[in-house]
A and B are shown apart, each in its own frame.
Chain A
Amino acid sequence: MSQTSIKITGLRKSFGKGDSKKEVLKGIDLSIESGQVIGYIGPNGAGKSTTVKILCGIHTAFEGDVEVMGMPLRGNSTGVKQKIGYVPENGALYEALTPREYLNLVGTLFDMSKELIEERTLSLLKYFNMEQQMDVRMNTFSKGMKQKILIIAGLINNPDILFLDEPLSGLDANSVILVKDMLTRLARQGKTIFYSSHLMDVVEKISDRIILIDDGQVIADGTFEELQQDNNVSLEQVFAKLTGGEELNIEAGMLDDVFKN
């Protein structure tokens, strides 16, 4: 029997106060089984990253209940964090360090032994063809190289649940293939993958279940086949239909006027 790895009940989150208060999440309810690959999609500003940040413990103030691997996130966040990996879109690196130093730090924070950290670091860097850069400071890296280190850091503790927030940002085509392959293998091992993105083709290929949010609410939830209204549309078309994107082509015509003069 599969186990519930993430249970979210009535999740709400607001930013600001008074007149400028903006409710980003307006009551999300989800139950995710272990081993599922979840494609969490939605337009810009829909609340995807905010959901992920709450689940990873980056935003601590929220309304509602969140349970991860049977543990409530509130009051037990360090226990929850031992079991998760997080790959942000960008920026979360100590760039003055080398990959070896940084990954050693992250591994230490997960209470891993030095030997295990070193072993995983080497294996994962090799997987991403980055073993040559192991002792080079990351402030000289390209965006894609930094993104690979973020992915490795998210995997170093062998997490039960992996949260990925736009993980393919800045990666070249070969690296994208590597990441897709990696996610498929991790899912086969029974890990839960929570993949937040607006890149429909990847989500369509790797997800067991797709959750579409818009304006802080879940507006569609099911397998790709269930979301298809007829048999010949892509996920991109489903997305456009459900989020009002079909009207964008008309509005895009306005751009011609902008550059007239």
Chain B
Amino acid sequence: MKRIILLPLNMVLNALGVNVNHFWALLGAKLKMDFRRVPNSFQSSGKKQTLLKQLIIYSVLGGVMVLSLYRIPDLILQLSIFFSFLIVYEGTILLTEFTSVLFDERENQILLPRPVNSRTLLLVRLVHILVYMGNIAFALSMPFAIYLAVNYGFLAILFMISALLCAWFTLLLSVGFYMTLSRFVCAERFKDVLNYFQIGLAIVIMASYQLIPNFIDEANMEQLAFRSEWWSYFIPSVWFAGFTRFIAGIGVGTDVYLALIVVLVTIAGSLVLIRALAGGFTSIISEAGADSSKPARISKVKSQKNWLSKLVSLLCVSNVERTGWDLAMSHVRSDRKFKQQVLPMFVYSIIMVIVFLRPSINDFSAYIAELGDSFKYVMFILAAYFGTVGISVLPYTDTPEAVWVYEVASTRNKFHIQSGAVKAMLFTFYLPLYLLYLVPIIWIWGVSVVPYIVIGASLSACLAIVSVRIQKNALPFTEARDMVNKGTYTLRMFLGMTIIGLIIGLIYLLTFLHVGVSIALCALMPVLISLSYRTIRNRK
């Protein structure tokens, strides 16, 4: 029975040039390992619970999406918007969290000396990632599927199939870009340019989301309709919307072509990626691991600038906290995977600002004047929350076995290490983002809004600091970069942003009061931040 079910899949694998036996053996081993917990006294909850919790939260996020879609009467528009959201979300997770998995070099010594071809190696990695991205797509889509089941019946099941296909498409698209890049850049240089490429892809993904308003035809929610333009058929989310309607048997006009595009793009995309572009994959992971075999080299130690060193000492309440700061910073400088996870978030932040403010080039001075009268400066507070991502990434490392350092350390205040590391993240990533944003804020809205920005920035920082408590005992660099943990940082960012919405509401209320109240509150902010740090530091 199992063989009959697997037969068509195996035929596809053969057509892709993949070794079927190697593929199933490797995939089976990887999935088995994902759910076997490695003992580590500093790890938090079990892997199955972690995954389940994540999926529930994704479903809630999908539910929020349904709340904004259910009033739209046009099915293709609903589907197009949902698939756009899905592609952007999955693309974001892939870029920030799964890129390091794709090019992971930790298994090099196990896999590369064995006779496994590049196509098999690449497809195993892709399908392994797809299992997790598919889970996320499933959880995000479930509430909308329930809505569709109530209104359209059987369409809901077909929609779920489309959603999974959409996850595969997003994976193909992003990895296709990576592998194409590997054709032009030698394997040794690939790891160096990967970060820049990630940033470029992040811009493309977020910017493409901005196309959505262009195919909406009406400002009134109840009368929104899909505006069919020739260029709208170049947008992947529209393809998947048409595909879903077509396979549900309720397709109209161009849906057959859209369905054909989906079929062709996914089949042709898989063939091109696995058959033609996989060749360089082994070279990339081989060279990604080359660093570790590099003989120890005495690097030029840049002495920390004197004033900066003094400032850091001032910001840290103990030597242990200072050690936590230094530990985090040296890790940030040397860990490529850390950068791969954190840097794209800054791009998302900047793009989010541009998206919200929607600059008009036609009459720029009038646009700036109009903007200056608006409340839109709070959007910077929302977007800057991406700058706290370093805190979420802090517990994860490729070498969790180094956790013994904490176990044998004679210090009683281990959590000072964590508070020091969190301070380093906020100082290095979050503060500069605000300093950057203050330039346009002051230029457009003037200094009078600075107190509100300070309050927003401080409360967001408090939120990020307190959220560390959710990570329970996860001290810096103590947890393995497990597949099960993937998706966590992005999810935390989006969930955090919903709370930032409340902070923005509070600031809105403050604008009705005398500005002196806000200035007085600004003076209170250091106390609040200090209290937040105590929640981390004073744990037993």
- Chain A interface residues (CB < 8 Å from chain B): 15-17, 20, 22, 24, 44-45, 49-50, 53, 56-61, 77-79, 81-82, 84, 86, 88, 91-97, 101-102, 104-106, 108-111, 137, 139-140, 163
A94 CB contacts on chain B under 8 angstroms: 29, 33, 107, 110
Nearest-neighbour CB distance to chain A for B112, whole angstroms, equals: 5
**B295 x A24 contact (CB < 8 A):** yes
The residues of B that contact A163 with a CB separation of less than 8 Å are 113
Is there an interface contact between A97 and B39, defined as CB atoms closer than 8 Å?
no
Residues of A within 8 Å of B289, CB to CB, are 58
A-B contact sample (16 more), CB < 8 A, given A58-B109, A94-B107, A96-B38 = A15-B291, A16-B294, A17-B189, A22-B297, A57-B112, A60-B187, A77-B282, A79-B115, A86-B109, A94-B29, A94-B33, A97-B32, A102-B29, A108-B21, A137-B36, A139-B39
Q: Is the CB of A60 within 8 A of B286?
A: yes
Chain A residues within an 8 Å CB radius of B116:
78, 109
- Which A residue's beta carbon lies closest to that of B187? A61
On whether the beta carbons of B115 and A81 are closer than 8 Å, the reply is: yes
A111 and B29: CB pair below 8 A? Answer: no
* Smallest beta-carbon distance B42→chain A, Å: 15
Which residues of B179-194 are within 8 A (CB) of A? 186-189
- B295:A45 contact, CB within 8 angstroms: yes
Give the nearest-CB partner of A92 in chain B. B109
Is B26 on the interface with A (CB-CB < 8 A)?
yes
Measured between beta carbons, the chain B residues less than 8 angstroms from A93 are 110
Q: List 29 A-B contacts (CB under 8 A).
A: A17-B189, A22-B295, A22-B297, A56-B112, A56-B113, A58-B109, A58-B286, A58-B289, A59-B287, A59-B290, A60-B187, A60-B282, A60-B287, A61-B287, A78-B115, A78-B117, A81-B114, A93-B110, A94-B29, A97-B32, A101-B29, A105-B26, A105-B29, A108-B21, A109-B22, A109-B111, A109-B114, A137-B36, A139-B39
Cα A140 to Cα B40 with chains together (Å): 12
Smallest Cβ-Cβ distance to B285: which chain A residue: A60
Looking across the interface, which residue of chain B has its beta carbon closest to that of A49?
Answer: B293
Q: What's the Cα separation between A160 and B287 when bound, in Å?
A: 27
> Which residues of B from 140 to 166 have beta carbons under 8 Å from A?
none
A74 to chain B, nearest CB (A): 11
Is B174's beta carbon under 8 Å from chain A?
A: no
Task: Determine the residue in chain B with the shortest Cβ distance to A58.
Answer: B112
- The verdict on A110 contacting B115 (CB below 8 Å), with A58-B286, A95-B38 known, is yes
Query: Cβ of B113: which chain A residues have Cβ within 8 Å of it?
Result: 56-58, 81, 84, 86, 163
- Chain A nearest CB, measured from B160 CB (Å): 31
Q: Which residues of B contact A22 (CB under 8 A)?
A: 294-295, 297
Give Cα distance in the complex from A155 to B262, angstroms.
47
Q: How far is the CA of A23 from the CA of B21 in the complex (A)?
A: 39
Return chain B residues, CB-CB under 8 Å to A44.
Answer: 295
The residue in chain B whose Cβ has the minimal distance to the Cβ of A111 is B21
A222 to chain B, nearest CB (A): 26
Whether B308 sits at the interface, judged by CB under 8 Å, is no
Is B409 located at the chain interface by the 8 A CB criterion? Answer: no
> Which A residues are CB-close (under 8 A) to B107?
94
Given contacts A97-B32, A110-B114, contact A61 B25 (CB under 8 A): no
A258 to B188, CA, bound (A): 40
With CB as the reference atom, state the residue of chain B lying closest to A78.
B115
The answer to whether residues A61 and B115 also contact, given A88-B109, A95-B38 and a CB cut-off of 8 A, is no
Interface residues of B in 76-129 (CB under 8 A from A): 107-117
B356-402: which have CB < 8 Å to A?
A: none
A61 touches which of B26, B39, B286 (Cβ 8 Å): B286
From residue 270 to 320 of chain B, which have CB atoms closer than 8 A to chain A?
A: 282-283, 286-287, 289-291, 293-297
Give complex CA distance A50, B107 in Å.
Answer: 17
Q: Which residues of B lie under 8 Å from residue A101 when comparing CB positions?
A: 29, 32
What's the least CB distance linking B350 to chain A, in Å?
A: 30
Residues of B within 8 A of A91 (CB): 109
Minimum CB–CB distance for A157 against chain B, Å: 9
**Bound Cα distance from A81 to B201, whole angstroms:** 36
In the complex formed, the residue of B with least CB distance to A165 is: B109
Q: How far is the CA of A88 from the CA of B293 in the complex (A)?
A: 12
- Give Cα A153 to B110, complex, Å: 10
- Residues from chain B with a CB closer than 8 A to the CB of A57 are 112-113
* Chain A nearest Cβ from B174, distance in angstroms: 24
A56 to B114, CA, bound (A): 8
User: Which residues of B are found within 8 Å of A110, using beta-carbon distances?
Assistant: 114-115
Compute how far the CA of A58 lies from the CA of B22 in the bound complex, rounded to whole angstroms.
18
**Complex contact B297–A20 (CB within 8 A):** yes
Closest residue on chain B to residue A84 by CB atoms: B113
Given contacts A56-B113, A110-B114, A111-B21, contact A96 B36 (CB under 8 A): yes
Chain B residues near A139: list those with CB within 8 A. Answer: 38-39
Q: Which one of B29, B187, B188, B290 lies within 8 Å of A97 (CB-CB)?
A: B29
- Given the complex, which residues of B lie within 8 Å of A61, measured CB to CB? 186-188, 283, 286-287, 290
- Inside 8 A of B29's CB, which chain A residues have their CB? 94, 97, 101-102, 105
CA distance A60 to B186 in the complex (A): 12
Chain A residues whose CB sits within 8 angstroms of the CB of B297 once the complex forms: 20, 22
Which chain B residues (321-368) contact chain A, with CB distance < 8 Å? none
Contacting residues, chain B, for A24 (C-beta < 8 A): 294-295
User: Which of B38, B39, B115, B116 has most chain A Cβ within 10 Å?
Assistant: B115
Q: Is the CB of A109 within 8 A of B33?
A: no
B22 contacts which of A17, A84, A108 (Cβ < 8 Å)?
A: A108
Residue in A16, A50, A78 with the greatest tally of chain B CB atoms within 10 Å: A78
Contact B295 A58 (CB under 8 A): no
Q: Which residues of B contact A86 (CB under 8 A)?
A: 109, 113
- Report Cα–Cα, A92/B293, bound state, in Å: 14
Closest to A216 in B: B295
Give the top 10 A-B pairs by smallest Cβ distance, nearest first.
Answer: A92-B109, A45-B295, A86-B113, A81-B115, A96-B33, A96-B36, A56-B113, A108-B25, A109-B114, A78-B115
Q: State the CA gap A106–B109 with chains docked (Å).
A: 12
User: In the complex, what's the smallest C-beta–C-beta distance from B100 to chain A, in angstroms?
Assistant: 18
- Give the nearest-CB partner of B286 in chain A: A60
**Nearest residue, chain B, Cβ from A16:** B294
Kindly state the separation between the CA atoms of A94 and B33 in the bound complex, as whole angstroms: 8
Q: How far is the CB of A235 from chain B (nearest CB, A)?
A: 23
* B186 smallest CB distance to A (angstroms): 8
CA distance A137 to B29 in the complex (A): 13
Taken together as a complex, chains A and B put the C-alpha atoms of A163 and B117 apart, in Å, by 21
Give the CA-CA distance A86 to B291 in the complex, in Å.
20
Q: Which residues of A contact B286 (CB under 8 A)?
A: 58-61
**What is the CA–CA distance of A110 and B297 in the complex, to the nearest angstrom?**
37
Give Cα A33 to B113, complex, Å: 21
Q: Provide the bound-state CA to CA distance between A58 and B288, in Å.
A: 11
How far is A138 from B212 in the complex, measured between Cα atoms in Å?
Answer: 51
Say how far B232's CB is from chain A's closest CB, in angstroms. 44
Chain A, residue nearest B111 (CB):
A109
Chain B residue at smallest Cβ distance from A20: B297
Which residues of chain B are near A77, meaning CB under 8 Å?
Answer: 115, 282
Bound CA span A95–B295, Å: 26
Return B118 CB to nearest CB of chain A, in Å: 9
Within 8 A of A (CB), among B199-246: none
